[in-house]
Amino acid sequence: MTHPFFAKALKQTLVTPNKIVVRSRTDDEDQYSGEATNAESYALMPKVEYFETYLTSNDQAEDIAEAKLAMSEMWSKAGSVRVPMNLAQEPFDYIRVVDSREGDERVGNIGRLTRHYSVSPQGRQSSRWEMVATFGDWQCVRKALANLNISSDDLQNSFTRLYVKNLYAEHIQADSLDLVWLDPDNTIDLSKIGDTLDHLPDGEQYARVKSVHLDAEGGLKLDENVWYQPGYDPSTKEKGIAKQATAPADPQLDDFWLDTSVTPNLWKRWNGSAWVKATPANQDDLPNGALYRRCKSTAVTTDGIVVLDNVQVGTYGLVKSTGIRAGQIRLDSCYGDMDDIDQGQTWGSIRLACMDGNGYLELNSNTKVNGEWYNNTGVLIDSSKGIRLYGTDMAFGTFANVSDVRAGTNWKCKVDANGAIVAGAGNVLLNSSGITVKGAKLTLQDSGGGHGGTLYVDTSGRLRLDGAGWGGSVLVGELTSTYGISAGTYISATTFLYPGKAASQPIGSEGGIVFNTVSGNLNIFSAHLGGWRHFNLDVGWA
């Protein structure tokens, strides 16, 4: 409804609480939470309230938080408006006041409604009919809730749970009522329960005692009303124990008897059918302990030394005294021989077949390592194979001294892993390709070791033969491809001279003789004559 208003009053108040957090109960399996905040009031003075309830989602928790915050905001709104009287208006109505002159408006719930009226004799126009609607104004309600120590939710739920420090009531109506009678010391006052111990049953730990068995101060009286265990003497306040040499008559279960017929006296107990020893009579009655054990008398001498003849054999056996000398085992008294001794990890036995008659190790067919006498680090020794070397670049080698042997340096001659014999620090090589000599001459000697001559290659790559008594070397042939000669010069067994052959003019060398395979002429090279000349001395190559 729309009404004109006469006056308005506004007041901006702080919303408290200004943040609401709603979350699941601690013991719920699924946990959800949501919150709502009035940012303006929270920035000025944070006031948070927490609520726990059953939730099915985070959205549900957030909706509940927003609803509770809206209620808090509604309670905090302050202001009033004076308007013409509306008889249908009631507290808690949600209204909207619009001031069109100032462009202002106010919405909220009516917290208090006051009506004013006065009747003027001048008539209706002069009479006063108006009301004042106040927003919020819950302070009186808040005070009551604070005194009751409850919240607005508890008020809406009609006091679902009410805690009262001191309650004075003329009449209480309840579905069930549990009352505990406590005295000023917070203990139960049994005098107020309207009953006595006569109707209280015995418990598992405590039982009632008849009043005739108690003295005036509540102490237990040992008199004729008390049943005594058989044998108990109330005058001495102990049960009689028989101290005699013969067994007592009519014993009761667990009766004790000190048997004086033996020395020292022996305690015995009646087990219901016989007297049994309550204490050991001697060591025969004592069981073996964890630290000490009994020893048979037959195994002990008068001096307390154990006699080994009576010790039982266990994991370890006995050694006869005749097999021990000065505490050491005598091998001449041992049973068996070396065949019965197991091999050790460090030392072992050697077969007699591997030793000669003097006890020395003998390398024969009975001494084997993987089927051979010796086979280790590239060396194999076998009766049928002899000594064989394998697997290294220097299976066999010679050195000048032992230091070079161990260092593998400065070797003189060796057999490498390819089977080649290498000598002269690598200058002489004997392999499947033949004999190779580098940087030296091949010396030939007669059967008596005399010097016969040397064969070598000169600096021009030509093979020369230097014979004893020749006064120089003889050119055997041109070997380099530079000369273009297909075959070198040689002398046959019939003393014929066979010069080198060429199909074209080769590079000349002083004194060189070449047969022209095309023309059939024999040519000689002479720098003095100006180059090549054939034997008819004609100029040029023919």
The per-residue pLDDT for range 274-314, each reduced to its tens digit, is 998 888 777 777 777 788 777 777 777 777 766 677 777 77
User: For the ranges 34-43, 237-246, 401-410, which has the lowest average pLDDT?
Assistant: 237-246
Cα gap 494→489, rounded to integer Å: 15
Would you give the DSSP letter of residue 147? H
pLDDT at 64: 92
pLDDT at 58: 93
Nearest to 160 by CA among 169, 151, 171, 168: 151
Quote the tokens at residue 45.
Answer: 């003075």
pLDDT at 369: 64
How much is the mean pLDDT over the chain? 75
pLDDT at 33: 93
Q: Taking a C-beta distance cutoff of 8 angstroms, is the pair 361, 367 a contact?
A: yes
Confidence of residue 181 (pLDDT cuts 50, 70, 90): low
pTM, two decimal places: 0.26
Of these ranges, 98-107, 110-119, 360-369, the one predicted with the greatest mean pLDDT is 110-119
Among all chains, which residue has been given the structure tokens 């309650």?
A: 167
The per-residue pLDDT for range 361-396, each reduced to its tens digit, is 776 666 666 667 677 777 777 777 777 777 777 778
The per-residue pLDDT for range 135-164, each reduced to its tens digit, is 765 555 555 555 555 565 555 555 556 666
Of these ranges, 115-124, 139-148, 181-190, the one predicted with the greatest mean pLDDT is 115-124
pLDDT at 484: 42
Res. 83: pLDDT tops 50: yes
The per-residue pLDDT for range 194-248, each reduced to its tens digit, is 667 777 778 888 877 777 777 777 776 666 656 666 666 666 666 678 889 999 8
Res. 59: pLDDT tops 90: yes
Find the mean pLDDT for residues 65-75: 81
Cα distances from 138 to residues 38, 158, 263, in angstroms, run: 19, 18, 100
pLDDT at 442: 76
Question: Percentage of the chain with pLDDT > 70?
Answer: 71
Confidence of residue 19 (pLDDT cuts 50, 70, 90): very high
Give backbone dihedrals phi and psi of 59, rounded to 5 degrees, phi first: -65, -40
- Other beta carbons within 10 angstroms of residue 485's beta carbon come to 21
User: Rounded to 10 degrees, what is the CA torsion of 302, 307, 310, 314?
Assistant: 140
Q: Taking a C-beta distance cutoff of 8 angstroms, is the pair 516, 536 a contact?
A: no
Find the mean pLDDT for residues 348-373: 73
Residues 6+ apart with CB under 8 A from 518: 503, 504
Cα distances from 9 to residues 80, 96, 132, 140, 153, in angstroms, run: 5, 14, 11, 20, 30
Nearest to 15 by CA among 75, 96, 80, 105: 75
Res. 507: pLDDT tops 60: yes
